[in-house]
Chain A
Amino acid sequence: MELTQGLLLIAALAFAISMLVSSLIFLLGLFNSTSNDSSSGVSLSIFKRIGNEIDQFNRIQKTYRLYWRNKNVPTNELIIFYHEQ
């Protein structure tokens, strides 16, 4: 093996491993969740944001169900109501 080839191989490997490490760090960053404090200017991870959206949707659904159930509306009407929305 030529010395130049060897050194180029080492440099290429170093760069590839550095980028692999960067990708790993980036992936780990996606799982990073922080406190839900918008006033502090803290941004949330993508997973935390999706989780928050799902929680909010479930809360709205629960509120609607409770509202119609209290008015004794049958479940099928509740479904129609959702569809109309």
Chain B
Amino acid sequence: MNNDAIAQLFQGIYTLLMSDPIIAFTRVGLIILGVLLIYLGKKGILEPLLMIPMGLGMATINASIMTMPGGEQGNLFVDPMLTDTDQLLEMLQIDFLQPIYTFTFSNGLIACFVFMGIGCLLDISYLLRSPFSSMFLAFFAEAGTFLTIPIALLFGLTLKESASIAMVGGADGPMVLFASLSLAKDLFVPITVVAYLYLGLTYGGYPYLIKLMIPKRLRGKAIVRDPNKPLKVIKPSTKLYFAVVLCILLCLLFPVASPLFFSLFMGIAIRESGLTKIREFIEGPLLYGSTFFLGLLLGILCEAHLLLNPKVLMLLILGIIALFLSGVGGIVGGYLMYFIKRGNFNPAIGIAGVSCVPSTAKVVQKEVSKVNPSAIVLPEALGANISGVITTAIITGLYITLIPLIESLW
């Protein structure tokens, strides 16, 4: 038995030594990054629900590259680049995660399941109490979604690719997945990975942005509520009608994003119509199962060959610019609302318009409480947060519909 045959016994190491040095170093780097994600997830610095399956998936896929029967390097997990139907059918019988990728990930079904779960968790009372101010804040917190497009064009991306990466500014994972699938299918894997990696960072990064942009005096501002105008209790039937009317209206306006609208409002409708068993199923097994497989697939898709795209570094930079601009836009919106309401508003609430439900709302309350423990801004922050989801869905619909049109006219 020669040395080569012995080396081939341990194919993970063999492929690492035999591959291009850039790929070999990237593989090692991604294995270390995967382990780091698990550590940060376990510590609670990043979202453990997503980071632990993603980290282990990332580390494992880069360790288990092998030589396939044809001689090329591959793995037994998934091949996301397959387009030929015969090859796809063959791979469905070989790669164990291929069925989940093909039937739930690449068609956006998993994003819709997550959205349905989010809908079941959303209490839209906060939004119904102050719709105008909530939607106003959410619109400003979309600054990154708009302003990143010209920056991405300067980086040399196409308009469709720019719009897809700019969606990271909306801080809504399923929306980014859906938009990039529709607009930039070739880049949807790195864009989605970047989006989910950064969504975990909002929890760690936004508190610093709040401290940087809002002086302590305003950060601790409590909202004075009129004792003659107590908080209105919203009946479940009103919330159900809201979901039905808005779902139909938005689907009429943007049929291309209707699966997402339908999923979100279906979740809300189930919650408000008292279908307890279905609600428990959607917000429990379905949501947790989908999040697990989403994290797992995102990790598995971080294979060195797939990520070694010259555009990935650009996407990493643009993603963080998008989230930063959205945070800044949200706080600017908060300041505007502070002036509109003649000082009876906390500008920090603005950043909750970035629709990372409910992380950004929690971040706002935490930062406000640090300065003034008696100031409760969570209801207003959650209203802006939920509006952020709706505004991101509206912008996704607009991008999917109008960006191809603008590109053809441009």
Contacts and interface: CB of A to CB of B under 8 A. Distances in A.
Do A and B bind? yes
Interface of A: 1-4, 6-7, 9-11, 13-15, 17-19, 21-26, 28-29, 31-35, 41-43, 45
Given A9-B402, A14-B139, A19-B135, A3 B232 contact: no
B394 A18 contact: yes
Given A1-B409, A28-B245, A34 B150 contact: no
Nearest to A11: B146
A6 B246 contact: no
B61 to A, nearest CB: 37
A25 B250 CA distance: 13
- Secondary structure at the A interface, as helix, strand, loop or mixed, is helix
B150 A3 contact: yes
B128 interface: yes
Contact of B398 (A10, A21, A23, A41): A10
Contact of B235 (A21, A22, A24, A33): A33
30 contacts: A1-B406, A3-B410, A7-B150, A10-B399, A11-B146, A14-B139, A14-B394, A14-B398, A18-B135, A18-B390, A18-B391, A19-B135, A21-B131, A21-B250, A21-B390, A21-B394, A22-B135, A23-B131, A25-B131, A25-B242, A26-B132, A28-B128, A29-B238, A32-B238, A34-B232, A34-B233, A34-B234, A42-B232, A42-B233, A43-B231
Given A24-B249, A25-B128, A31-B238, A15 B139 contact: yes
B-side interface size class: 35 or more
Interface of B: 127-129, 131-132, 134-136, 138-139, 142, 146, 149-150, 153, 159, 229-235, 238, 241-242, 245-246, 249-250, 253, 387, 390-391, 394-395, 398-399, 402, 406, 409-410
A29 B128 contact: yes
A56 B42 CA distance: 61
Contacts of B134: 22
Contacts of A13: 398, 402
A72 to B, nearest CB: 46
Contact of B131 (A6, A26, A31, A32): A26
